[in-house]
């Protein structure tokens, strides 16, 4: 049994008056915004915060992120429990160790004083972790930095799941059990408080299954990250995805939401596949049930079983078409199924699964082919199949690098 432990507090250090002023202003602005949401007021009614936004000329996308009610409510309990003086001392100590230049301090202040970013910045410096922001989660990071499935707990500690057989990871009000190879099950054991998030990272050559306490099951493909609350408290069930996953959502009065940047899926009990990889079209295939897809501020689109909604990466255009869902979920059965897919798309998927880089000649990118094969086959065997079908040769140019000819 593994118990989650908190981090030790570091002793108080000397003060730096300039940064102390920045630090306390940041917390004040964060509390102002939390108060605005707590009273169900519009941001337009918070004059101090509006003045701050105008003074700093923040971009629309950044403002949307910084002024998200959900983000601030997520941090609310943590902020309320923070000892600001202790955190300030720790921040100053870290800054002295890194000896930042004055110019960098001014740049960091512009970020730090940006309300929610500041709160996340404080947590980041304390834990020596990068700010958790959806836009920073890339499949490339998964395939290059992780070699085994890894669970990131809410206190930012990392667990390499291969190191645990059937041991339970226990917190005060929930338990995570490794049921079998590559499967985790969450069970609620007590009254939940504020939302706390775990993150599952699945690298190359792996798939992984999550079973939530409400009965929902998610299977993650290689090169994917899922961020999710340990318990679905509140009035909705919401997760964030980068990569590819197959969802079997348990029916509930609470809607289930999958967020992929500015794209959202809302469901109430259904099965569907989501393909959301960097620099690729977003694809959602519905197997059964009903879902609504919403891109940014656009109108929601309702999808029926055996339909796929595609949002094009290049221009954001959205289209819906009829498909055979089985062709898009066979990866769950350890199969590659590419029917009429482009060579560029196929090579991208092979790169993620096998953890290599494959450069496709521009004039070959849109060559279409059908390929069905087991994912246990070696990369050389798969390359051989592709060459036999298309006549395209694939040569090795480095340790983990290939190109087509």
170 pLDDT more than 90? no
Window from 313-317, 357-361, 376-380 with minimum mean pLDDT: 313-317
Q: What pLDDT score was predicted for residue 405?
A: 93
The pair of three-digit structure tokens given for residue 5, joined into one six-digit string? 């432990």
What's the Cα-to-Cα distance from 97 to each of 9, 13, 103, rounded to whole Å? 17, 12, 17
C-alpha to C-alpha distance for 367 and 390, rounded to whole angstroms: 8
Query: How does pLDDT run across 55-111, given as a tens digit for each residue?
Result: 555 444 444 444 444 444 444 444 444 555 655 565 555 555 544 444 443 433 344
Could you state, in order of their start, the residue ranges of all structural domains in the chain?
Answer: 137-326, 334-404
Does 50 or 96 have the greater pLDDT score?
50
* pTM, full prediction: 0.67
Instruction: Pick 334-404's CATH classification: 3.40.50.80, 3.40.50.2300, 3.20.20.150, 3.55.50.30.
Output: 3.55.50.30
pLDDT band at 164 (very low <50, low <70, confident <90, very high): low
pLDDT band at 43 (very low <50, low <70, confident <90, very high): low
CB distance 273 to 244 below 8 Å: yes
Q: 40: Cβ–Cβ under 8 A, 6 or more apart, which residues?
A: none
Q: DSSP alpha helices (H): ranges in 44-168? A: 47-56, 60-66, 69-81, 84-98, 102-112, 116-127, 139-145
Instruction: Pick 137-326's CATH classification: 3.90.25.10, 3.30.70.1520, 2.60.120.1440, 3.40.190.10.
Output: 2.60.120.1440
pLDDT band at 127 (very low <50, low <70, confident <90, very high): very low
C-alpha to C-alpha distance for 30 and 51, rounded to whole angstroms: 14
How far the first Cα of the chain sits from its last, in Å, is 53
C-alpha to C-alpha distance for 6 and 174, rounded to whole angstroms: 16
% of the chain surpassing 70 pLDDT: 61
């Amino acid at each position: 049994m593994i118990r989650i432990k908190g981090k030790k507090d570091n002793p108080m250090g000397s003060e730096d008056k300039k940064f102390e002023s920045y630090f306390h202003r940041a917390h004040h602005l964060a509390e102002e915004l939390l108060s605005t949401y707590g009273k169900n007021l519009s941001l337009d009614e918070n004059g101090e915060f509006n003045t701050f936004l105008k003074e700093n000329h923040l971009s629309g996308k950044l403002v949307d992120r910084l002024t998200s009610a959900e983000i601030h409510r997520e941090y609310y309990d943590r902020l309320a429990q923070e000892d600001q003086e202790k955190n300030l001392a720790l921040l100053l100590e870290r800054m002295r160790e890194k000896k930042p230049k004055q110019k960098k301090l001014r740049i960091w202040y512009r970020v730090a004083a940006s309300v929610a970013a500041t709160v996340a910045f404080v947590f980041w410096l304390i834990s020596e972790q990068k700010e958790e922001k959806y836009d920073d989660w890339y499949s490339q990071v998964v395939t290059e930095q992780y070699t085994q499935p890894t669970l990131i707990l809410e206190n930012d500690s990392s667990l390499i799941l291969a190191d645990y057989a059937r041991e339970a990871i226990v917190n005060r009000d929930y338990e995570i059990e490794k049921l079998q190879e590559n499967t985790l099950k969450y069970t609620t054991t007590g009254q939940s408080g504020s939302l706390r998030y775990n993150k599952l990272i699945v690298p190359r050559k792996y798939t992984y299954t999550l079973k939530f306490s409400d009965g929902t099951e998610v299977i993650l493909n290689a090169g994917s990250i899922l961020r999710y609350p340990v318990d679905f408290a509140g009035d909705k069930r919401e997760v964030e995805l980068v990569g590819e996953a197959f969802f079997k959502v348990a029916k509930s009065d609470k809607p289930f939401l999958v967020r992929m940047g500015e794209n959202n899926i809302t469901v109430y009990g259904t099965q569907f596949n989501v393909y959301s990889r960097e620099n690729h079209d977003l694809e959602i295939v519905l197997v059964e049930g009903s879902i609504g897809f919403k891109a940014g501020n656009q109108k929601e689109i309702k999808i029926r079983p055996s339909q796929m909604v595609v949002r094009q990466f290049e221009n954001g255009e959205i289209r819906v078409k009829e498909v055979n869902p089985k062709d898009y979920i066979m990866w769950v059965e350890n199969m590659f199924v590419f029917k009429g897919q482009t060579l560029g798309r196929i090579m991208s998927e092979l790169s993620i699964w096998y953890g290599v880089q494959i450069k496709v000649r521009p004039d070959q990118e849109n060559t279409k082919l059908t390929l069905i094969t087991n994912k246990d086959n070696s990369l050389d065997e798969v390359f051989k199949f592709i060459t036999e079908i298309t006549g395209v040769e694939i040569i090795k140019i480095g340790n983990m690098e290939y190109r087509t000819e």
